[in-house]
Structure 1
Amino acid sequence: MAVSKCTRLSGPLTKQVLDSVDSVLFDCDGVIWRGDQPIPGAPEVVNLLKKAGKRVFFVTNNSTKTRKMYMEKLDKLGFEASEDEVFGTAYCSAVYLKTVCNLQGKVYLIGSNAMKQELEAMGIEQVGVGPDPVSGGQKDWAGVPLDPEVKAVLVGFDEHFSYMKLNRALQYLSNSECQFVGTNTDSRLPLEGGKAVPGTGCLLKAVETAAQRHAQVVGKPSSFMFKCMASKFKLDPSKCLMVGDRLDTDIMLGTTCGLKTLLALTGVSTVADAEEHQRSGCPKRQGMVPDYYVDSIAEILPALQA
């Protein structure tokens, strides 16, 4: 096994690495698909890994879809997948509130309908989904009616994010016993053609700033996402490979949890980014250096077809 970090995965080394793991965790956008199109060769890689007896999981910070919605997308794009194999932040944040926070009450949700569905599937009531228009003046805002049963604020991606939602979250979080959870800290969502839109991290930072509190973050690189699947499927970290396109989320998660890591260059981060982290000498940045990299996961195909 190669000792040096950030090694190109090719030739006999590919089979060596695959033989050393029994589970492969894939980030989604930028690794197995871009938007609504699969990365060429990605469905074949995933399906052949399964045929070879590997367990495959799909791990995403995107909170706008339920596990069922992700499974349907995977199926449509040619991937063999079951709902149990999908771990998104909509689902994982519901698990976190139920198991770690031991929530006894409702959630004020800044988030999507998908998050609402995952919370409800876990038996958690929520309030807050949809627009919250501004009315009245500052005294009215400070005294906005609150649901006394709300015991937690959860922030995910919300296209209806507004001043009033920010204000309402602040009022709930003024109670120090109200728990505060965020799905992820990704600040930008990259789109085709080099464009981007603001990500959940921008909304979460706004709420943290207003409330003067830090949220417990569930998504990558938080170790909770791996713990969530490891406890359910009894995964051995040393026999898992994390495949991602972002050094600060996917690769950092793998490093933090003791997984082997593979950077796919079909998304956000580059080899130059990884090498810069490697040269920095900073322990945190060293955690963003992958063990291996490939131009695309399609490069794994020959080792699986042999």
Structure 2
Amino acid sequence: MTVASIDIGTNTVLLLIAKIVKNKHLIEPLYEEQRMPRLGKGLKKNGKISDEKIEMLLSILSDYKKKTESYNSEIILVTATNALRIANNSKEIIQMIKSNLNLSVDVITGDREAEFAYLGAISEINNIKTQLVIDIGGGSTELIYGNNDKIIYKKSFHIGSVSATEQFLIHLPPLAEEIHLLRRELGVIFNEIKSKFQPDLVIGIAGTATTLACMIQGLSHFDREKVNGSLIFKTELDDLVSKISKIKPENILDKYGEILKGREDIITGGAIILSELLAIINSNSIGITSRGIRYGAIVSDLFY
């Protein structure tokens, strides 16, 4: 059967259309797309998603629905995370999506988001006993520790690449003091996981991790085959943070190419979060996969 899964995030809206082999728990991607309406921009300050962003979201979902129909998708799953969780006008937006496009949106809790992230991340991994999955989104960061498909710990933390940038990195490029304050705050936020885990594998999913993998590999466009299964070493990441924290967003885009478009002003914040997390868990590397929440939604809905 063919299934579509849409992930409405704080920064991006992602589409996956996949062939599902239920008895083998296989998800074979047929088509993937991402767009970046930045629904969460100014959300913490204003408490609501702007009319302009709502129009962008409806347009994206309309295009995505047409694409799912072209693949004769039998099921369309639509999952929404932090932006629609915290926006004061989320109910109205969900109703608009239903009335205009006949799509039902499932706004999941932070814990559920963590679960989907984990299930997606491990959906093509075999023979690894324990893993810690790190999902740095726009408005939140999920950490999930498990043994094979059994989740032992999961938590959603209220900081992501967009919120970290808006709250701490006021100047772009950021001042050294701003970076120091962000790192100090991250140490407080993530203190509870210090020395808590000793995973066989640390896995990074979502746009921050995959974009950083592309930057380190010198890829100006996303290449699933080169990104999935690749490693980012902490030394490489810290070198990258040192470089991009000294230049303006437009220069980051010029230097690293199309892969940064729409993310050039928040990638430094996301990279600092990942760097700090690797330091806290005492890991010198992280494996990368593009499989995340949209994959986990399929696993949860169809395989369990």
> More helix by proportion, 1 or 2?
2
Tell me which structure has the larger Cα radius of gyration: 1
TM-score tier (shorter): 0.3 to 0.5
TM-score, normalised relative to structure 1: 0.35
